[in-house]
Structure 1
Amino acid sequence: MKALLIDDHSLVRDGIEMLLTIRLGFDSVYHAENGAQALTCLAQDSLVDLVLLDYKLGEESGLTVLAQIKALYPTLKIAMMSGEDQAQPIVQALGEGAVGFIPKNLSSQDLAQAIQLVLDGQIFVPKLKDTKAVQQVDEAVTSAQRQIAQIAELARRVIRDKDFSQRIELGESNEVTSAFNSLLEELQQDRSRLQRLAFTDELTGLANRRLFLDRAEQGLRHAKRTKSLTGLLYLDLDSFKQLNDTQGHDAGDQVLKEVGERLKAGIREVDTAARLGGDEFTAVLLDISNEASAQDLVARVFNALIKPIALEGGATWTPKASIGVALTNGEATLQDVMNRADALMYRVKQGGKNQFIIEGEN
């Protein structure tokens, strides 16, 4: 899972990141100090599972940032975090599309439980003492739950029926429903975009996380059925942030596209290459006979990846990649195999980077 933390205090972000990774098992946590950084981050990786947004964001209003994000990503889960315990901020946040209003002064255990509640699809609000305030918040929660249910139901119908003419009709439309309806209008204009959004990474053209998970599940079943091995390859580019900082994001995008092409060219037709987001790539490798054959395949991919890339303007950049490959006979769960591949990749990073490790099941 991935999270985006938007708070102008780095210590607060660091503390929440520790809680997300240690208690809730998040794989990646992005940081942003303001709305502009948050939107840039989401543009680079829209496959974020949760956004935690500070209500008072320095000179910027958290509600403004919430509205900006919801206008572009109407179904993204965003929970507001604050020291406020009044009804008005909570009602405003829920009205703008937040799925929670989490006090910052909760204990780490209570904070983790509140975040987990949001991840599970529920709405979290603090307990208030004032009866009138409780009633106002309860009404806002009910309205937010109704809105979430309507969006979810409409999304299911659109995907099932391929009918983009449907719209959400509420007595009091807000930014979230308007944004969702706008997205449906765009899809109605370009029906092929639904397929791209559903299964393809927009930048590289590779499979996205959704299609990767589906192919990985199929790969495990295939390995079990054919008594072969399936490999999950996890790849992370080393020092990619430095490239973005020195050469700019256009150069970074050029490198990501080239890496995607090299990864796809290096594997076989039966395999699936995917981009999970940022500089994280993966591949599902089918019909692996043994660890030695996997070694040959991954070595070919690795050697192609680390060749220099010519950038616009005459500069070049030589990629360095940390790769972990977990082999399975299909008996393990997908989550277990993914965790192994991720751990192998990080072992490479800790051991000097720019190499690969392949391991079968013990």
Structure 2
Amino acid sequence: MTAPLEAARFLIIDDHPLFREALHSAVQMAYPDVDTVEARSIAEAVDVLASGKSFDLALLDLSMPDVRGFEGLLQLRTRYPRLPVVIVSGYEDAKIISEALSYGAAGFIPKSARKSELADAIRTVMDGAVFVPETYQAGAQGADSIDRADLVSRLSKLTPQQLRVLRMLQQGLLNKQIAYELQVGETTVKAHVSEILRKLNVYSRTQAVIEVSKLDNADLFRDQV
């Protein structure tokens, strides 16, 4: 159940000031009395949420400066599972939309939508439904989508620190290098790696990196506007 409108608060996470302003305007069109707080990065959003403020909805751009692909969404869903997160993105590929929903996004709104359409989409999510563009066809991804959804489910079990370790494994860092970057002992890093392997149901660091590479959307993002 959503909070009374006069008490509702939205978190807008986007590094472009013009689009933050456009989202703020759309939110006000949907709910004139709602309060909005802005964040220019995932780190800033996490700081805002860690301050104890409660939010009824987060509007998140996928292309943030401090994360790649779906890392930002995964961080927010892992740390704050009760917070509905809606993706507002310039990437409208059906594969990206499907994956965002698999990560637990409460909706996916194209940035190409008009202000009134943004407002309607926000109302839809606040009413408890999942919003997707009319052109999106659920289930169109076939078996590949099912496999990716299973991997996403396993990744969602990782803690924020384990996600950081996993990203460093992808970068080819050794345990001692990871320990230096995170300012922890090598024993702690080894424990994190063991938990990552267990939760991903793989048997080696290399296999973990190969599995996660299946969710790397760099090629999809590269040609999008």
SS at match of 1:102: strand
The one of 128, 134, 140 equivalent to 1:121 is 128
Residue in structure 2 matched with residue 135 of structure 1 by the alignment: 139
What do you get for the CA RMSD once the two structures are aligned?
3.2
SS at match of 1:57: coil
User: 1:14 and 2:18 equivalent?
Assistant: no
Residues 61, 48 of structure 1: alpha-carbon distance in 2 compared, 3 angstrom cutoff: same
Residue in structure 2 matched with residue 103 of structure 1 by the alignment: 110
Residues 62, 31 of structure 1: alpha-carbon distance in 2 compared, 3 angstrom cutoff: farther
Distance 2:91 2:151 in 1: 29
Any residues of structure 2 matched to 1:1-362 within 5 Å, and which?
1-58=8-65, 60-61=67-68, 63-128=70-135, 134-136=138-140, 173-176=153-156, 178=157
Asked whether the equivalents of residues 20 and 26 of structure 1 are also in contact (C-alpha less than 8 Å), the reply is no
Distance 1:95 1:40 in 2: 25
Distance 2:107 2:77 in 1: 14
Distance 1:120 1:179 in 2: 30
Report the Cα offset of residue 58 of structure 1.
3.6
SS at match of 2:70: helix
More strand by share: 1
Residues 73, 125 of structure 1: alpha-carbon distance in 2 compared, 3 angstrom cutoff: same
Residues 172, 27 of structure 1: alpha-carbon distance in 2 compared, 3 angstrom cutoff: closer
Asked whether the equivalents of residues 103 and 153 of structure 2 are also in contact (C-alpha less than 8 Å), the reply is no
Asked whether the equivalents of residues 43 and 66 of structure 2 are also in contact (C-alpha less than 8 Å), the reply is no
Scaled by the length of structure 2, the TM-score of the pair is 0.58
Asked whether the equivalents of residues 53 and 62 of structure 1 are also in contact (C-alpha less than 8 Å), the reply is no
Post-superposition CA distance 1:174-226 (Å, at most 9, x none): 455x489xxxxxxxxxxxxxxxxxxxxxxxxxxxxxxxxxxxxxxxxxxxxxx
Matched residues, number: 150
Residues 174, 62 of structure 1: alpha-carbon distance in 2 compared, 3 angstrom cutoff: same
Report the Cα offset of residue 59 of structure 1.
5.6
Asked whether the equivalents of residues 7 and 32 of structure 1 are also in contact (C-alpha less than 8 Å), the reply is yes
Asked whether the equivalents of residues 42 and 72 of structure 2 are also in contact (C-alpha less than 8 Å), the reply is yes
Gaps of at least 5 residues in structure 1 are 140-169, 181-362
Larger Rg: 1
Distance 1:134 1:45 in 2: 36
Scaled by the length of structure 1, the TM-score of the pair is 0.37
Report the Cα offset of residue 171 of structure 1.
11
The higher-RCO structure (CA 8 Å, 6+ apart) is 2
Post-superposition CA distance 1:55-103 (Å, at most 9, x none): 2224633511111111111121000011222111111111111111100
In the TM superposition, structure 1's runs of 4+ consecutive aligned residues that sit over 2 Å from their partners are 58-62, 133-139, 170-176
Paired letter, 1:13: R
